[in-house]
Structure 1
Amino acid sequence: MRDRGGKLLLDGKLAKSIGHRKLYDVDVVDDIDGQRPPVAAIAGRDRNQPTDLEGWHRRLVHADVRRIERMAAKGLVDGLTITRKLLRGMCEDCILGKQDKAPFDDFVVHETELLERVHVDLWGQARTPSWSGAVY
């Protein structure tokens, strides 16, 4: 993956095939001038540096905030020091990850004529099956 200027951000190579599925192994490329993509900036923080609750929430793969606070209070994780326990609203990534489908519009038009609206599959069968084995 490259940015608009052509600079390499992510480098991926096709990894060993697991069964009939293919996975990509992606490495984040460090930028020499000190700027990194947002994911690399989060991953590249000093692990021993105290961090706010929002930072720990992201580092711990969006774990429940109450669970992170309990781990810190009980001293279950070395270096888990929370500097600020305030979250700025709900985590947008968590909200989107929990949605099972996009909401529908309130306005619905029902067709009255035969073949007035037709839905067709123009893409066809996928080369790589999904985890459940579906190819469409």
Structure 2
Amino acid sequence: MTATGICSVVLGGLVAAVTEPLGLAHGSWLAAYLVLVGGVAQAAMGQARFRRSEAMPRRGWAQFGCWNLGNLLVIVATLAGAPLVVDLGSALLVIALVIAWRAARPGVGSAARPATGWGSPLVDHAYRTLLLVLAVSIPVGMALSQLRHS
């Protein structure tokens, strides 16, 4: 997830670079989405999984698949003006967040973790806060999509 997130950040930067020259109508939205949701958020989830490698390992692939397919559906549907498909992609993002939240619970995969640095409770709290912010932003994005295309 970390590597895919980094690639998404780079792709978002490239989209930002060509938005004005190519006159992309949704270019700034797409660049921001790729960087923040597809990139930064996914890289954070990847690092959290890496730090807690024993926490729900099989569900890591489900989280990865739901997050990336959900992002792809949201992007394509937004560009195509298909708000119901945005909702479907958003549902996959919620599933990925639920998997991430369950893996990030205190005590899950935390045996022998250091109290400072990347294994600290403060970092865990910040990560769970990021997951909550993402969870709140999903229905906001769905509502905006519906309003924009109705």
Name the TM-score, length of structure 2 as normaliser.
0.23
Higher strand share: 1
Instruction: Give the structure, 1 or 2, with the largest relative contact order (CA under 8 Å, sep 6 or more).
Output: 2
TM-score normalised by the chain length of structure 1: 0.24
